[in-house]
Chains A and B, each alone.
Chain A
Amino acid sequence: MEPVVAPPEAPAPPPAPPARAKRWLWVALAALGGLAAGWGLRALLVERPPPPGPPPEMVRQLAALRDSLARTEAGLAVYGAALDTLDTVVTRTRARFERLRPLLDSELDALESGRGANYGNHRWAAFAYGTPPVRSDSLLDSLRAVGRLVPLGDNSRYVVSILEYSAPFVVPSTRWLISETARRFQDSLAARGLPLYRLIVTSATRTSSRQAALSTVNANAVSSASSHEAGVSVDVLYVQFVYLPRDEDLPTLPPQTPHTERLNRWLEGVYSDLGFRYAEHLDGLLGRVLLQMQQEGRWLVLRETGQPVYHLTRG
């Protein structure tokens, strides 16, 4: 009889969790799942925020730069139009100057060796229409005091340069004649659509002592009695004229043109320069005015060659 062997004992099963804890575990898992699903749905359904852009300061700078660029482009366009206008004005003015005829040889002859060229005529007129010879400053002051000599100052018709050997005084009729000459000269310019220029008087009444002093430095100046000593003669430059700024000479520039005042100053400078460049043409106009006034018996004209002046004596 075989001995009865007892079967080995099976290992004890782990202790089953209690049913209540299991239930809580499921609840927790379900809650976590719900949260995850909600998070996912939110990501899908809620609008995403925009990606972060450049900083606001940079945005402002970019906008300002864009505005500035636009303004510059607009300004350049306006400038271009303004420069076109100015260019047209200068070209047209230059062409009008070109059309002014310089003095012809015959006219030069009439001015240099005509009736007025005889200096004796000037002296005769001086002592017929002028003051007694102004021998001294005190006599000059006396003649001024009684109105025989009147001051000669700058105005819109002419300017009087700094005088070294004469005094800025003449008889009233000579002052009127200078003004009349300049008026006719400027009227001729205006009729041709040109800017206006003023005449330059370089000599007026000389005392005898100053006339003598001048004769030592100027071969043209006579050492004896001169018509300048009687207050009826003046010298007017024919190689230089002074531009007279006027609003009429300035074109209407496009609105919004920046620096209009500077552009206008530039144009006035151009007019000044044109007066120098076309002095020979302006002299043509002045010479013809003087010839006409000589024919009318108003002036005796002598176009000097040693000095670039017209020696004018009341006729």
Chain B
Amino acid sequence: MTRLLPLCLVLGGAVLGCREPAPVSPTPSPDRSADSAAVPDSLLPPPDARAARAVLRPFPGHQARGVVTFEEVRGGVRVLAEVEGLSEEGLHALHVLDMRFCLTPDSLRRPVPANAPHFNPDRSRHGGPLALEGERHAGDLGNLRARGGTARYDRVDPLVHLREGRSVVGRAAVVHAGQDDFYTQPGGASGPILACGVIEGED
């Protein structure tokens, strides 16, 4: 028995030594309030807010900024967006992404890519905002129409939720440079992102 003990120790040490070292967490960035992607969903507080808000901040090289508010009403959630700094005249896609950050939570702080997936708890195809459940992503909010660089969007959306697993709270709302064509899969060919903000509950 005493002869086997060193052998077991050697074998055990070899097995442990073969394992990959644990990843070293990056240096925490100074502002990580919007970087909840690093936290698993199960550890996040339940997103049961009745109202929520996203402050859209411009991505580098763009001027678009604004606010999107979400409020539970009978028949859905009222989505009210007011954005400025857009093109003089034109349509700009408004989406909720299946991402919990606008800048990557690593030390590089890269903007979320334009082809990031839309919030889609139903695993549906991409579509327009008037499409029925199953024919659009919950994050497909349609287009903002810019006039003189500003746009207003007001609509009660039956597929947007602020509660439980389908909640948009904690996801990123974005405005694109181009219009959503409602059929190109999976993103609507909307072009680069102009502005982004993580939706935060207000209750």
Contacts and interface: CB of A to CB of B under 8 A. Distances in A.
Interface of A: 150-155, 159-168, 200, 217, 242, 244-245
B116 interface: no
B154 A151 contact: no
A153 B151 contact: no
A153 B154 contact: no
A162 B154 contact: yes
Interface string B147-182: 100011111111000000000000000000000000
B14 to A, nearest CB: 47
A250 to B, nearest CB: 15
19 contacts: A152-B156, A154-B76, A155-B158, A159-B130, A160-B155, A161-B130, A161-B155, A162-B129, A162-B144, A162-B155, A163-B153, A164-B145, A164-B153, A164-B154, A166-B154, A167-B154, A168-B78, A200-B130, A245-B132
Contact of A164 (B74, B130, B151): B151
Contacts of B151: 164
Contacts of A154: 75-76, 130, 156-158
Contacts of B78: 151, 168
B74 A168 contact: no
A168 B155 contact: yes
B11 interface: no
Given A161-B130, A162-B142, A164-B145, A153 B157 contact: yes
Contacts of A166: 154
A153 B147 contact: no
Contact of A163 (B130, B147, B154): B154
A153 B145 contact: no
Nearest to B145: A164
Contacts of A217: 147
A195 to B, nearest CB: 14
B45 to A, nearest CB: 27
Given A162-B154, A167-B80, A167-B154, 5 more contacts: A153-B76, A154-B156, A160-B156, A161-B130, A164-B145
Contacts of B154: 162-164, 166-168
Contacts of A159: 130
Contacts of B73: 151, 153
B190 interface: no
Contacts, number: 59
A23 B43 CA distance: 109
A151 B132 CA distance: 19
Interface string B28-40: 0000000000000
A276 to B, nearest CB: 14
Contacts of A152: 75, 156
A132 B130 CA distance: 31
Most interface-central of B76, B145, B155, B158 (chain A CB within 10 A): B155
Contacts of B152: 164-165
B74 A163 contact: no
A242 B131 CA distance: 9
A57 B198 CA distance: 60
Nearest to A156: B132
B120 interface: no
Nearest 5 pairs between A and B by C-beta?
Answer: A153-B75, A153-B156, A151-B73, A163-B154, A153-B76
A153 B156 CA distance: 5
Given A161-B130, A168-B78, A151 B143 contact: no
Contacts of B144: 162
A163 B132 contact: no
A150 B73 CA distance: 9
Contacts of B130: 154, 159, 161, 200, 242
A69 B143 CA distance: 49
Given A154-B130, A242-B130, A163 B155 contact: yes
A153 B75 CA distance: 6
B67 to A, nearest CB: 13
Of B144, B147, B152, chain A has the most CB atoms within 10 Å of the CB of B152
Contacts of A160: 155-156
